[in-house]
Amino acid sequence: MKLTVPYLGHIDIFLNAMARKIGPEFVFPPKTSSRTLLLGTKYSPESACLPFKFILGNFIEALEKGADTIAMITDHGPCRVGMYDVVMQQILKDLGFQFDWIAMDDTRILGDYLLRFNRERKKRGVSLWESLQAIRFSWKKVKLSESVERMAQKARPLEVKRGETTRVLTDSLRWIDEASNFRELSQTHQQCLEKFNRIEKDDTQNPPKVLITGEGYMVINPHANQDIERRLGEMGVEVARTVWFTTQITHALHLDLFNPKSKRKAIKASEPYLKHNLGGECNASIGYPILFKKEGYEGVIQLLPFGCMLEAVAKNILVKVSREYDLPILTFSLSENLSETMIDTRLGAFVDLLQQRRGRKRNR
């Protein structure tokens, strides 16, 4: 089995570590590029959202590289990710590709994925203990990857040499991916800390804090949101985001009960505005700004793919949240046609607004 999956945060680091320890072989698509989006747009239905186009393009490129099995997340309810399962399979078959398809959702994950994984494990002669250790090691790698990303979010608005934080982050993620055992990973952790501490910073600055929330794929993947996190950081803004690979997994497995800013808590915080959980990130997109406002965040950016029904619902409710919590909220409806210039212009105006609000508060 040569398995491929869609890019989602640092899932590549997690699965690379698993493959080296116990298998199966993973075939990752090339890094998402303009060709990826071109392929996805060419073969997608006209009304398909941007994540659909990116993921379809990724799958085409992975199948071209020799993948023979696709594992795809799916969902229930009104979110269109629930249609990816059927529609993508048909498109890829019409293009002449042959492959097995694994649908990963909470009702079929046992039969469609875990049992296959267990068969592959036995075929390779890997013990259950070795499998558990491999999962633990892979998980620790992803946690460290997300930790260095959070360090970058704090360091970037303070850096003196523009772009240094991004270079250190890129090196750190490569070192984490290359670590082959727990000892090497611990050494890599120290190496990353040292590199971040060496970044020259202007500690006299007090950057405004902005939360990025919205549809999961758009928030977690820089290639999908035009690297908006880096752009804000280089404008002098400290950024936090609501979607991480590990938080999505812990939420699905009900392991986030004691996290004060978990997706579960965000959904609870949205209840005064939306009584029912609509699915996707809709309710969480409403609740997270409320939670982070209490932590001193001064603005929110909502990211959604053009045509996303659930985030459109959240967008309208966030108008009321913005008014009641005195919290500026900027929404980006992203498509393949949105230019970098437009994004920079709107972000620059939003940052100016936050600075002006600070000035007015100081003068009171």
Q: What is the 3-state secondary structure (H, E, C) of 285-314?
A: HHHHHHHHHCCCCCEEEEEEECCCHHHHHH
Average pLDDT over every residue of 14-19: 88
Q: How confident is the model at residue 76 (pLDDT cuts 50, 70, 90)?
A: low
CB count, 10 Å around CB of 48?
Answer: 22
Residue 117 has pLDDT above 80, yes or no: no
Q: What percent of the chain stands above pLDDT 70?
A: 96
Domain positions in the chain: 2-126, 143-203, 206-364
CA 210, distance to chain mean position in Å, is 17
Residue 337 has pLDDT above 90, yes or no: no
Write the pLDDT tens digit of every residue in 178-229. Answer: 999 999 999 999 999 999 999 999 999 999 999 999 999 999 999 999 999 9
Higher-pLDDT residue of 164, 49: 164
Q: How confident is the model at residue 114 (pLDDT cuts 50, 70, 90)?
A: low
Residue 331 is predicted with a pLDDT of 96
Residue 109 has pLDDT above 70, yes or no: no
Q: How confident is the model at residue 85 (pLDDT cuts 50, 70, 90)?
A: confident
Mean pLDDT computed over every residue of the chain = 90
Reduced to 3 states (helix: H, G, I; strand: E, B; else coil), residue 71 is strand
Query: Does pTM top 0.85 for this prediction?
Result: yes
Name, of 43-57, 248-262, 316-330, the range with top average pLDDT.
Answer: 316-330
C-alpha dist (Å) from residue 123 to 114, 117, 358: 14, 10, 62
Pairing type for strands 2-4 and 25-26 reads: parallel
Q: How confident is the model at residue 40 (pLDDT cuts 50, 70, 90)?
A: very high
Give the domain 206-364 fold. Answer: Rossmann fold (3.40.50)
Residue 336 has pLDDT above 90, yes or no: no
